[in-house]
Structure formats: structure tokens, C-alpha cells
Copies of this chain bind each other. A is one copy, B any other.
Amino acid sequence: MATERSTPPTLLDLSTYLLSRVGKTARGLLAERLAERGLRLWDMAVLAALADFGPHAQRDLVVRLGVDPSDMAKAVDQLAAAGYVDRARDTVDRRRVSVSLTPAGRAVLADLDAEARTVQAKVLAPLDTKERQLLQGLLLRVHEGLAGADGENDGQGGQDGQDGAQIS
């Protein structure tokens, strides 16, 4: 029988395609794990930001992660409900809400990180250690490039422009 599941070479030849395809799979697998804990991908991003940079005003999280303030509010809300972060009004500027990681939050993050690495191992299975590092390095540079050159937000009519620095 002819038609097995095979991707058209035209596509396979496009790094863009591979990137997008593999990326999506990776994202999907990870998201699946996170979902088991009732979290989404960028709840993890928030936790990571707090862990790496310490407590943030919610506003700063918004800036750092490039999400809509309104969405951030929802995310933080959820994380607070789960006990992973604390929300406290800033004493000096009482408009601000200072968000900080709880021990539970730190623990979950470690957990998620472990999960991520498991997924990673699965996804990158065909590569040996050296190659993985190579890939990591290349991706990192590409990522940095994107962050910098993101420049021309031509704001085309599109209703779902994905400029920002979204995670999920």
C-alpha cells in the first residue's frame, strides 16, 4: 500500500517547518505534563521568572514576559490560589502587588523543570550529548537574535499578531 505517513520533502527541507513542527511537539508534551498539575506553560514561565529574579511587581512580570496585563492577572490569580505564589500589596506604592514565590511554588518549579528534562530526553533521543548541547547553543543564539531583531512590529491588520515574547 502506498500512502504511509510521510511528510512532503518540500516541507522537510524547510528549517522553518521543522522548527515549528518539533517545537510544537515539544510544547505539546510539556503542556501535557503541566496540565496534570493544573498549570499552563506560562504559569511555569511566571514561576521561573520569580525564581530567577526574585519577587516582582505584577507589572514587572508583565513587562518581562511580554504578556497582556489582564492575562497576567489571571495567571497570578490562579497561582496564588494554588499556593505557589504570594501576593502582597506593596507598602510604598499600594497600587502595586508584589508577587513572590512560596516554598511550594519553588518545589513545583523544580518538579516542572524535571518534567521538562524528561520530555527533552524523549524529544532529543536521536541526538547524543554533544549534539544536544550543540542544538541548545544554536537555538539559544537564534532565540537571542529574535529577541533583539523583533523590531519592526509592522502591526499588520492581522488580529492575532504574535509579536511579544510569549511563552505558550
Contact = CB atoms under 8 A, between A and B. Distances in A.
Interface of A: 2-12, 14-30, 32, 35, 41, 44-45, 48-49, 51-53, 56, 60, 63-66, 109, 113, 116-117, 119-120, 122-127, 131-132, 134-136, 138-147, 149, 156, 158, 161-162, 165-167
Interface of A, secondary structure class, is: helix
B139 A18 contact: yes
Given A8-B45, A14-B120, 16 more contacts: A4-B63, A4-B64, A5-B147, A8-B48, A11-B45, A11-B48, A12-B143, A15-B120, A16-B123, A18-B140, A19-B27, A20-B23, A21-B167, A22-B146, A124-B142, A125-B145
12 contacts: A3-B56, A5-B64, A5-B66, A8-B48, A8-B52, A15-B124, A16-B26, A20-B30, A21-B23, A123-B142, A125-B149, A135-B138
Contacts of A29: 16
Nearest to A115: B16
Oligomer: number of copies: 2
Contact of A15 (B11, B56, B132, B161): B132
Contact of A19 (B17, B22, B141, B165): B22
- Max chain B Cβ within 10 angstroms of own Cβ: one of A51, A113, A139: A139
